[in-house]
Amino acid sequence: MTFPRLDTVRQTIRQMQGYIPGEQPQDKRYIKLNSNENPYPPSPQVIAALQQAIGEDLRLYPDPVANRLRDKAAAMYGLSREQILVGNGSDDLLTMLMRTFVGPGDRVAFPVPTYSLYGILVAMQDGKVVRVPFLADFSLPPQLAEVEAKLTILCHPNAPSGTLTPLHRVEELAQRVRGILVIDEAYVDFADETALPLLHKYPHAVILRTLSKSFSLAGMRIGLAFGHPDLIAELMKVKDSYNVSRLSSVAAVAALEDYAWMRQNVNKIRATRTRLSAALRELGYFVYDSQANFVLARQQGVIQEPMYHGLKERGLLVRYFSSPELADCLRISVGTDEEIDRLIAAMEELRRNA
């Protein structure tokens, strides 16, 4: 085989490791509590709408801007079509934000630890990542607003901690930042409050939502960005032409139409989250107060890799991060009550035999 000319790869790309997503085993042997997916299926109306759409015009390109979905989301969230952009998951929207705002050397700031994709997307643009550590209780570091950043990103609720920055603190941040404030609300349906009302007051704020979590549609890849029409128009310029498939937008419209289904599942998950947090505390973990569909459990100074492997051997996948600041933690997605009972039983057994 001829040697590929790797020296022609951009240095930035050659040197970076690339994002490592959570394990997605395709053999279905595991109870998956590692990617913050919803343990409940999407609305039956989504399945019915998809079955009908499969019989229709798959040979034709989809609407490049997914206007049916934009209109549905606009009506639901009290916005106009022009304030909404649809993405192939919210990861796609993050990419568009980076392409639009971040050139070589431009600063992007966010509090850490948080969703690790942010830093990787900045690196791809040759931008400069400014990581500002959260305070020990995951409250906002005051220096965050002092970074002269093109983009400041707040994950709300934060991953992997599950903690939520109170709305008045988000507003203070909006008042203080110089550039654009991106509020990533991937998990906000599981929380007590949203930053959506800020959009009307702060034209430099962008809110990201996803249907992957609360609407049980991770497999369909649908994200929504909300922002000022002028800002959305700029983002539109850098999107892939047909970034949302026909089936995805059909599924998303049907999912938004059955909002009650989503709320019912969210309520079940919130109840299980309370049980899970209590059970982990009984086991001796410190558990951050979660407003998301996962919890972060810490056993101060005790590396959790053996626990992660022990659980995996027993068919239970959770998320372990090897980075020094999180190595004594496990991030556990909230599954069904039965899945959580099995997890806790396995953790108790592993603790007894440790």
Task: Return residues touching ligand PLP (CB under 6 A).
Answer: 36, 89-91, 115, 155, 159, 184, 186, 210, 212, 218, 223
The length of the chain in residues reads 354
Report the DSSP pairing between strands 223-226 and 180-184.
Answer: unpaired
Tell me the residue number closest to ligand PLP, measured at CB.
89
Q: Which is nearer to ligand PLP, 165 or 212 (CB)?
A: 212
Q: Which is nearer to ligand PLP, 162 or 310 (CB)?
A: 162
Task: At 323, list the tokens.
Answer: 């980075």
Task: At 315, list the tokens.
Answer: 């068919």
Shortest distance, CB of residue 6 to ligand PLP, whole angstroms?
A: 29
Q: Which is nearer to ligand PLP, 266 or 279 (CB)?
A: 266
Shortest distance, CB of residue 324 to ligand PLP, whole angstroms?
A: 21
Q: Which is nearer to ligand PLP, 181 or 347 (CB)?
A: 181
Q: Name the one residue in this structure whose structure tokens are 């980076």.
A: 98
Q: Which is nearer to ligand PLP, 154 or 297 (CB)?
A: 154
Shortest distance, CB of residue 4 to ligand PLP, whole angstroms?
A: 30
Sign of CA dihedral 255, 256, 258, 261: positive
Q: Give CA–CA dist 347/353, Å, rounded.
A: 10
Shortest distance, CB of residue 1 to ligand PLP, whole angstroms?
A: 35
Shortest distance, CB of residue 159 to ligand PLP, whole angstroms?
A: 4
Contact (CB, 8 A) for 303 and 328? yes
Three-state secondary structure call for residue 225: strand
Q: Give CA–CA dist 126/115, Å, rounded.
A: 19
